[in-house]
């Protein structure tokens, strides 16, 4: 589902065909395993909102057919990326362990760090890139599928450092932090990294007391160096954000929000059930291409973009997911998962990580890890 991290030598056609094949394999495996009950036998599992999300996704195929002339068959093909959410159930039914999926996630985290380096050293013709890479705001914008694992791994390494005081975890955290800052040039990403660092720091405040003379000077030194080298970059982001806040009503994202919540909608049914997700080769896709001509992208609108596709049920599903994860008890095995979802929360107004194919498999792994941790805790109790 990561599409080879958008490696340029692999054609989009071949990558798309293989992703379609994998997505249908996921569906067939899920159908084969229907006879096996879902294993998260725990209170407040994520099974209910995930099922609600699937209901929203498949129901939206109806208005896509009725109002946008996209056949059900075309929708079934066009929705291929979203079938990855079936993995949540498959991983439980095949009895994968928390450690197995965590190790796989950390392995993919390391791979993404290597890919960032390759893209940096092959800039401007970066080897891995789903879109054009470019310089802006004193940094680089490098995009490829899989960056969700960079975010997850960065927070895992910070939590592991506080928990174990092993310095190599801190080095990996710093690398992840710097790569996500300098190689995405995203204000939201930078703010999320800072807030989540504080979140993990507060959770481990008692542990840090034991290593106060060791950990705190290291963090202060790292922050001081970061401020020195990031001063112009951070100041530039702040001034840009301030200027955009003053001219919000003329901002392109505000115009896009008005368009997709108003003129784009066919009627009240599409506002409730969604418009469906466009197949890249269908006529429905043409309406999004026309919107892009004016600079309107659903990817700029977060939850509103998700609502445009999948309606109110899809929005409710995500709100329930955030509620279940963020308001539940925090422990060593889910603090970094919560940090990942706080990061997603930062994107639900001005980003699209919740329906970005390159992030969704990370999200599904986090669903599993979160509920598997609760399940393991219940067994120990």
Given this model, what pLDDT does residue 238 score?
47
Q: Is 216 helix (H, G, I), strand (E, B) or coil?
A: helix
On whether the CB atoms of residues 358 and 304 are closer than 8 A, the answer is no
Interval 106-110 mean pLDDT: 96
> What is the pTM assigned to this prediction?
0.89
Q: For residue 106, what pLDDT band results from cuts at 50, 70 and 90? A: very high
- What is the helix, strand, coil percentage profile of the chain, to 5? 75, 0, 25
Taking residues 337-352, report their average pLDDT.
89
Which two structure tokens, joined as six digits, stand for 26? 């996921």
211 vs 165: CA distance, rounded Å: 8
With a cut of 80, say whether residue 244 has pLDDT above it: no
Separation between Cα atoms, residue 179 and residue 112, nearest integer Å: 10
pLDDT digits (tens, 9 = 90+) for 274-311: 999 998 777 888 889 888 888 888 888 889 999 999 99
Contact 345, 133 (CB under 8 A): no
Closest-CA residue to 353 (of 331, 313, 330, 321) = 321
- What's the whole-number mean pLDDT along residues 6-15? 83
Which residue shows structure tokens 């990326």? 81
CA-wise closest residue to 278 among 293, 263, 291:
291
120 vs 179: CA distance, rounded Å: 10
- 86 Cβ contact list (under 8 Å, min separation 6): 26, 27, 29, 30
Q: pLDDT for 304-337, tens place per residue?
A: 999 999 999 999 999 999 999 999 999 999 999 9
The pLDDT confidence band at residue 234, using thresholds 50, 70 and 90, is low
- pLDDT (0 to 100) of residue 223: 59
Q: Tokens 């599928």 correspond to what residue?
A: 145
Helix (H) / strand (E) element for 160: namely helix 147-164
User: Could you tell me which of 147, 155, 151 has the C-alpha nearest to residue 198?
Assistant: 155
Average pLDDT taken over every residue of the chain: 85
- 257-270 average pLDDT score: 91
Whether residue 348 has a cis bond before it, omega within 30° of 0: no
**Range with the lowest mean pLDDT among 29-43, 110-124, 185-199, 341-355?**
29-43
Residue 242 pLDDT > 50, yes or no?
no
pLDDT of res. 222: 61
Round to whole Å and give the CA distance between 312 and 268.
11
Select the more confidently predicted residue: 123 or 230.
123
Domain boundaries, the chain: 3-380
């Amino acid at each position: 589902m990561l599409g080879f991290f958008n490696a340029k030598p692999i054609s989009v056609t071949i990558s798309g065909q293989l992703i379609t094949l994998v997505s249908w394999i996921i569906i067939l495996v899920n159908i084969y395993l229907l006879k096996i009950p879902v294993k998260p036998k725990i209170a407040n599992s994520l099974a209910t909102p995930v099922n609600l999300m699937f209901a929203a996704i498949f129901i939206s195929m109806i208005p896509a057919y009725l109002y946008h002339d996209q056949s059900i068959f075309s929708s079934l093909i066009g929705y291929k990326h979203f079938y990855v959410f079936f993995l949540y159930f498959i991983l439980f039914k095949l009895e994968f362990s928390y450690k197995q999926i965590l190790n796989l996630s950390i392995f993919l985290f390391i791979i993404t760090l290597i890919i960032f380096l390759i893209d940096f050293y092959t800039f401007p013709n970066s080897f891995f890139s789903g879109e054009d890479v470019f310089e802006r705001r004193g940094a680089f914008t490098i995009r490829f599928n899989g960056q969700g694992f960079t975010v997850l791994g960065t927070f895992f390494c910070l939590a592991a450092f506080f928990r174990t005081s092993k310095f190599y975890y801190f080095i990996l955290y710093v690398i992840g932090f710097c790569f996500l800052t300098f190689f995405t040039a995203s204000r939201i990403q930078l703010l999320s990294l800072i807030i989540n660092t504080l979140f993990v720091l507060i959770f481990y405040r008692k542990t840090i007391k034991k290593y106060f003379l060791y950990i705190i000077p290291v963090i202060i030194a790292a922050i001081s160096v970061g401020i020195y080298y990031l001063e112009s970059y951070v100041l530039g982001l702040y001034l840009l954000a301030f200027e955009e806040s003053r001219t919000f009503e003329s901002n392109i994202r505000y115009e896009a929000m008005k368009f997709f919540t108003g003129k784009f909608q066919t009627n009240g049914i599409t506002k409730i059930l969604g418009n469906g997700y466009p197949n890249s080769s269908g006529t429905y896709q043409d309406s999004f291409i026309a919107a892009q001509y004016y600079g309107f992208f659903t990817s700029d609108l977060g939850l509103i973009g998700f609502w445009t596709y999948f309606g109110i049920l899809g929005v409710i599903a995500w709100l329930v997911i955030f509620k279940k994860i963020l308001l539940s008890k925090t422990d060593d095995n889910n603090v970094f998962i919560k940090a990942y979802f706080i990061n997603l929360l930062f994107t639900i107004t001005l980003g699209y990580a919740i329906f970005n194919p390159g992030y969704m498999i990370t999200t599904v792994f986090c669903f599993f890890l979160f509920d598997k941790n609760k399940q393991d805790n219940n067994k120990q109790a």
